[in-house]
Amino acid sequence: MGGIGKTTLASSIFSEISDKFDGSSFLANIRDFPTSRGLVRLQKQLIFEILGERNINICDVHIGSIEIMRRLRHKSVLVILDDVDQLEQLQALAGMHDWFGLGSRIVITTRNRHLLVSHGVDYVHMVNGLNDGEALKLFCWKAFRNCLPTPDYFGLSLQMVDYAGGLPLALNVLGSFLFGRSKAKWKDA
Ligand SMILES: Nc1ncnc2c1ncn2[C@@H]1O[C@H](COP(=O)(O)OP(=O)(O)OP(=O)(O)O)[C@@H](O)[C@H]1O
Ligand SMILES: [Mg+2]
């Protein structure tokens, strides 16, 4: 689901473990690169972030795939492919296991679980929403700049959290909107 926290989780993994690999790359918002030209740009970015090589001549996606495999197949890499929405993107950026060296990890985030299955990934993890306690805490940080509600807003806060259903994006937006507003405005919202 959009806003459930896939990119947040992937970013957190990336900052925690990227130094354990020969090289790493975080390709964000891949859905914004639907054309072949966009894919070639991402292929160049992948090679640049891992090897620091900037002026590689890649004239099309097919050549780009060959270059990735040729240059990275002996490197242990961590690659995050964030927000993928087409199979072609996966084929262009991480076509096969043997494109990357032993110990590599490729993490893909997507709203479309079926893409992962079609591409033959090893493991699919469904990101769940926040539990009630976490959701209340996140909402309160936004709505009160504190981890708990003020006593007079307690009931309303629980209703909001219940309404947002553990979806971090909704908790963020609602909480930020309600910060400093009257009870009447809370009830309207
Ligand atoms: N565990 C969390 N704790 C606090 N805030 C979170 C958490 N997970 C996500 N968020 C916040 O929720 C919002 C949405 O998260 P994120 O962008 O990671 O969602 P997404 O699943 O990648 O959505 P999309 O499918 O639209 O790309 C962001 O503002 C993020 O900061
Ligand atoms: Mg995302």
Domain residue limits, the chain: 6-119, 132-188
Q: Which CATH number fits domain 6-119: 3.90.245.10, 3.50.50.60, 1.10.3720.10, 3.40.50.300?
A: 3.40.50.300
9, 83, 125, 169, best to mutate for ligand 1 pocket (most atoms within 8 Å of CB): 169
Rg (CA), the chain: 21
- Please give the Cα distance from 157 to 150 (Å, whole number): 9
Whether the Cβ atoms of residue 101 and residue 74 lie closer than 8 Å to each other: yes
- pLDDT value at residue 99: 98
Nearest ligand, CA of residue 127?
A: 1
Structural contact between residues 70 and 64, judged by C-beta atoms closer than 8 angstroms: no
- Residues of the chain below pLDDT 50: none
Residues 6+ apart with CB under 8 A from 70: none
Burial class (CB in 10 A: 0-12, 13-18, 19+), 187: exposed
**Pocket of ligand 1 contains residue 111 by CB under 6 Å:** yes
The residue whose CA has the least distance to atom 28 of ligand 1 is 169
Contact between 173 and 2 under an 8 Å Cβ cutoff? The reply is no
- Distance from residue 182's CA to the centre of ligand 2 (Å): 32
Q: What's the pLDDT tens digit per position in 58-109?
A: 999 999 999 999 999 999 999 999 999 999 999 999 999 999 999 999 999 9
Q: Does the beta carbon of 169 sit less than 6 angstroms from any atom of ligand 1? A: yes
Q: Is 61 in the pocket of ligand 1 (CB under 6 A)?
A: no
Given ligand 1 and candidates 8, 130, 173, which is best to mutate, with the most ligand atoms within 8 Å of its CB? 8
Give strand pairing partners of 107. Answer: 80
Compute the distance between CA of residue 42 and CA of residue 81 in angstroms, rounded to an integer: 10
pLDDT at 25: 98
- Give the number of other Cβ atoms within 10 Å of residue 40's Cβ: 19
Distance 112 CA to ligand 2 centre (A): 12
Q: Of 88, 85, 82, 45, nearest to 67 (Cα)?
A: 45
* Distance in Å, CA 143 to ligand 2 centroid: 23
CA of 127 to the centre of ligand 2 (A): 12
pLDDT at site 28: 98
Q: What's the confidence (pLDDT) of residue 81?
A: 98
